A = this chain, B = another copy of it.
Amino acid sequence: MTTDSSTIKVDAELRASVEQFYAHHMQLLDAGRIPEWASFFTEDGTFAVDSHPEPARGRGQITAGATRTVEQLRGQGIARRHWLGMVDIAPADDTTVRVRSYALVFQITEADGAAVRSSTTCEDELVRAGDSWLIRARTVRQDRPA
């Protein structure tokens, strides 16, 4: 194997807590519970999406951006479901992990039912906060042909 085994050996507790964190966090977003969702970023957390020119910086900007999106989708009669999968966890130090995952967005409308909306790759820097995790930096990229 040419890959460092540290990317493979993952503590079961660590994996369980990261998977639980993502499940809970994505459901908050899709339910439109934005203040709760945003509370899982650090105060100075960043959220970069490659379709936006600048990352959102800090909980205030992150909350504002997500609130606008939620309101637009409601106005258009669109529900979304974010699925995170293929969660590749690399511990960085005692309190930080780097995670590279796939994120699929499914979209539900009255007219079309459920459909794939987009396929993205999500890179997170997570920091321990008590029994949970906070996102210090998130970068989401649309998947594109090479």
Identify the A interface with B (CB < 8 A): 1-3, 5, 7-17, 19-24, 26-28, 32, 35-36, 39-40, 73-74, 77-79, 81-89, 100-102, 104, 106, 108-110, 113-119, 129-133, 143-146
Contact = CB atoms under 8 A, between A and B. Distances in A.
A21 B36 contact: no
A21 B8 contact: yes
B5 A130 contact: yes
A29 B74 CA distance: 34
Q: How many copies does the complex hold?
A: 3
Of all A-B residue pairs in the complex, the 4 with the closest CB atoms, nearest first, are A9-B131, A114-B119, A8-B132, A12-B16
Given A83-B85, A88-B24, A106-B104, A132 B5 contact: yes
